[in-house]
Structure 1
Amino acid sequence: MEKLQAALEKARQTRAVRSSTVPTRQQLRITPATDADGAWQALAPADLDEAALSQHLIVTREAGAEATPFDILRTKALLQMRQNGWKRLAITSPMPNSGKTTVACNLTLALGRQRDLRSMLFDLDLRDPSVHEFLNIMPQHTIGEMLSGRVPFTEQGLRHGENVAISISNRAELDPTRLLLAEETAERLDEIEAVYKPDVMIFDLPSVLVNDDTRAFLKNVDCALIVIRAETTRHGQFDACEREIAEHTNVLGVVLNAYRQSDGNG
């Protein structure tokens, strides 16, 4: 644990130094066109499958009553992030099956309806990636190949519409903690942010209390959203999760999922 904490602190300090520098074209290794518009257009387009979206409760592609709760979350999160100058948002949960990936996908597509914003979604639940199933899209390369530098982002990332980029995997990584903790991963994300200039970067992370993966990565984000499930997440689990996240980044808020509102007659 002491070794991990020391690595996290060193990485956090290094990120602060990197943020004041501009990567060179050789360092970027992303696309010959270094302007943001050209970089976005170079990403391969991805058509989302309506049946898959419906099956996995992804309801924000179009405005409507079902999308309203996520639209409210989008507005609240965006205003608070802008107020603090934050761009990178982690979405996680204390334990699995809380709905964090559902929230991440819905929030991303809700942001995508804001035509003046550019948003990115990264599936970093590397032991059990599932965003590709939720959206029914198949990447040619895994996110692990991109983060480790084996393929450039322009070949791995996909574009939905004109203003949403998606970086996903269709298979698990063998050593996810090493990849999420690596300085090379932090550098790759800085390069992507420098070239594509997104307004919001969303990272779907593993559940905090299951392994060290999320703890290893939180140094790379500005804030985190915690998703808990009504009648399933225990208070002790939420408390431990919140304290763990607060040690490494800012807690943006909490989403209560699967809550059934009383009819008021009880």
Structure 2
Amino acid sequence: MEKLQAALDKARNSRRERTDPGVEVKPVAKETQPSGVDARWQALTSFDAKDADLIRHRVVTRHARKEATPFDILRTKALLQMRQNGWKRLAITSPMPQSGKTTTACNLALGLGRQRDLRAMLFDLDLRDPSVHAFFETQPPYLIGEMLTGAVSFEEQALRYGDNVAVSMSLHPETDPTRILLAEDTAEKLTSIQDAYEPDVMIYDLPSVLVNDDTRAFLKNADCALIVVRSDSTTYSQFEHCQREVAEQTNVLGVVLNAYRHDKRTT
């Protein structure tokens, strides 16, 4: 009986507190804003790209479709192998230009972006001939070289595609790209970005290995590398030379054979 009376008294007092204007009522907590890593990603300026423009540049992984399947397979195989080895930094290069390395890099980035539980970053480090901006048909506010040398912050320079893909690119070539790619300041900058934004994969679109020393200067900062070769133009000696150069600096994750034409008449 005493317990029942105590419960009734407690309920009566509770009703009185809700109706008595003299009783202080604590405000209901508002929904909290993103903090930490989520807030840093949301602070990046967002951009969008038209599907028709992407397809014109052979970037087909924005949505799941038949054309995206080869890149989706590459994405999954690369991601699983990188996770198995604890790798997060993926360089993409080729023996010679016009092999499709930037196309591969952009498709991998957007393919990873479709995985909502992942965060991916794409850096256009082909500083003599930057072209990622043309693939997305957008203009970054600052050059990637300005960010890497500390003139502007990553937050100011990089753009965000969707919620989970960050793209750092340039509009104009750098006058001395090797100086930037070889610098310890660049390595430290990339490490600070990785620590602050915690991406699952950082993709570096690098120059072709056999045309200058830029890629050699940078590969020490990558955990692994994909080599893109073009079936109708890359010679075996070029591929062999490139593979040897890359393997001296980092792990060769695999080789992508581009522009292969399968003739059903030969099967």
TM range, smaller chain? 0.7 to 0.9
* CA deviation after TM superposition for structure 1 residue 232, in Å: 0.6
* CA deviation after TM superposition for structure 1 residue 264, in Å: 3.9
SS in structure 1 of the partner of residue 264 of structure 2: coil
SS in structure 1 of the partner of residue 217 of structure 2: helix
* Aligned-partner residue type, residue 170 of structure 2: S
- Structure 2: 5+ residue runs without aligned partners? 1-33
SS in structure 2 of the partner of residue 48 of structure 1: coil
Q: Is the 8 A contact 2:231 2:257 kept in 1?
A: yes
Instruction: Tell me if 1:185 matches 2:179.
Output: no
Q: Please, what TM-score do these two structures have when normalized by structure 1?
A: 0.86
- Structure 1: 5+ residue runs without aligned partners? 1-32
Tell me: CA distance 1:187–1:52, structure 2 relative to 1, closer, same or farther (3 Å). same
- Aligned mates of 1:76, 1:264 — CA distance in 2: 30
SS in structure 2 of the partner of residue 247 of structure 1: helix
Q: What are the superposed Cα offsets for residues 50-97 of structure 1, whole Å, 9 maximum, x if unpaired?
A: 232121100000001000000000000000000000000000000000
* Aligned-partner residue type, residue 48 of structure 1: A
Deviating above 6 A after TM superposition, structure 1's stretches of 4 or more consecutive aligned residues are: none
Tell me: CA distance 1:34–1:145, structure 2 relative to 1, closer, same or farther (3 Å). farther
SS in structure 1 of the partner of residue 163 of structure 2: coil
For residues 185-264 of structure 1, the aligned pairs below 5 Å read 185-264=186-265
* Aligned-partner residue type, residue 263 of structure 2: S
Instruction: Tell me if 1:77 matches 2:78.
Output: yes
Instruction: Give the match for residue 144 of structure 1.
Output: 145
* CA deviation after TM superposition for structure 1 residue 262, in Å: 1.8
* CA deviation after TM superposition for structure 1 residue 34, in Å: 7.7
For residues 8-157 of structure 1, the aligned pairs below 5 Å read 35-157=36-158
* Aligned-partner residue type, residue 46 of structure 2: P
Identity among equivalent pairs (%): 68
Q: What are the superposed Cα offsets for residues 17-41 of structure 1, whole Å, 9 maximum, x if unpaired?
A: xxxxxxxxxxxxxxxx982101000
- Aligned mates of 2:124, 2:107 — CA distance in 1: 13
Instruction: Give the match for residue 159 of structure 1.
Output: 160
Tell me: CA distance 1:249–1:265, structure 2 relative to 1, closer, same or farther (3 Å). closer
Q: Is the 8 A contact 2:87 2:223 kept in 1?
A: yes
SS in structure 1 of the partner of residue 211 of structure 2: coil
Q: What are the superposed Cα offsets for residues 159-182 of structure 1, whole Å, 9 maximum, x if unpaired?
A: 001100000000000000000000
Instruction: Give the match for residue 12 of structure 1.
Output: none
Q: Please, what TM-score do these two structures have when normalized by structure 2?
A: 0.86
Q: What are the superposed Cα offsets for residues 144-199 of structure 1, whole Å, 9 maximum, x if unpaired?
A: 00000000000001000110000000000000000000010001000000000000
Q: Is the 8 A contact 1:34 1:195 kept in 2?
A: no
SS in structure 2 of the partner of residue 253 of structure 1: strand
Q: Is the 8 A contact 1:52 1:133 kept in 2?
A: no
- Aligned mates of 1:78, 1:139 — CA distance in 2: 28
Q: What are the superposed Cα offsets for residues 75-134 of structure 1, whole Å, 9 maximum, x if unpaired?
A: 000000000000000000000000000000001100000000000000000000000000
Aligned residues between the structures: 234
- Aligned mates of 1:227, 1:48 — CA distance in 2: 25
Q: Give 1 or 2 for the bigger CA radius of gyration.
A: 2
Q: Is the 8 A contact 1:177 1:213 kept in 2?
A: yes
Give the RMSD, CA atoms, in angstroms.
1.1
